[in-house]
Amino acid sequence: MDKFRMIFQFFQSNQESFMNGICGIMALASTQMYSAFDFNCPCLPHYNLAYGLGILLVPPFILFLLGFVLNNNISMLAEEWRRPQGQRGKDPAVLRYMFCSMAQRAMIAPAVWVSVTLLDGKCITCAFCTSVPVESLGNVSHLHLSQGDIQRVLARIPCKEIYNGQQLIANEVAIRYLCCISQALGWCFVLLMTTLAFLVRSLRPCFSQAAFLKSRYWSHYIDIERKLFDETCAEHARSFAKVCIQQFFEGMSTDLVAARCHLPRKAPADAGEAAEKLLGITDQGTMNMALKSWHRCKPPLDLHSPALPTGNGWAGEGQPPTHSSAPRRETAAYYSWV
Write b or e for each residue in 244-272: b if 16 or more Cβ atoms lie within 10 A of its Cβ, otherwise e.
eebeeeeeeeeeeeeeeeeeeeeeeeeee
| Domain extent listing, the chain | 1-210
pLDDT of residue 3: 59
pLDDT of residue 46: 85
pLDDT of residue 144: 73
Measured in whole angstroms, how far is the alpha carbon of residue 4 from the centre of its chain? 23
pLDDT of residue 187: 96
Stated pTM of the model: 0.71
109 within 8 A of 62, measured Cβ to Cβ: no
Give the CB-side neighbour count of residue 106, counting CA atoms within 13 A.
22
The rounded distance, in Å, linking the Cα atoms of 186 and 124 is 11
- Compute mean pLDDT per 10 residues along the chain, 338 residues long, and list them: 56 59 78 85 90 93 88 81 84 88 87 93 92 82 75 90 85 92 95 90 77 86 89 90 86 67 52 71 87 86 64 44 43 38
pLDDT of residue 334: 37
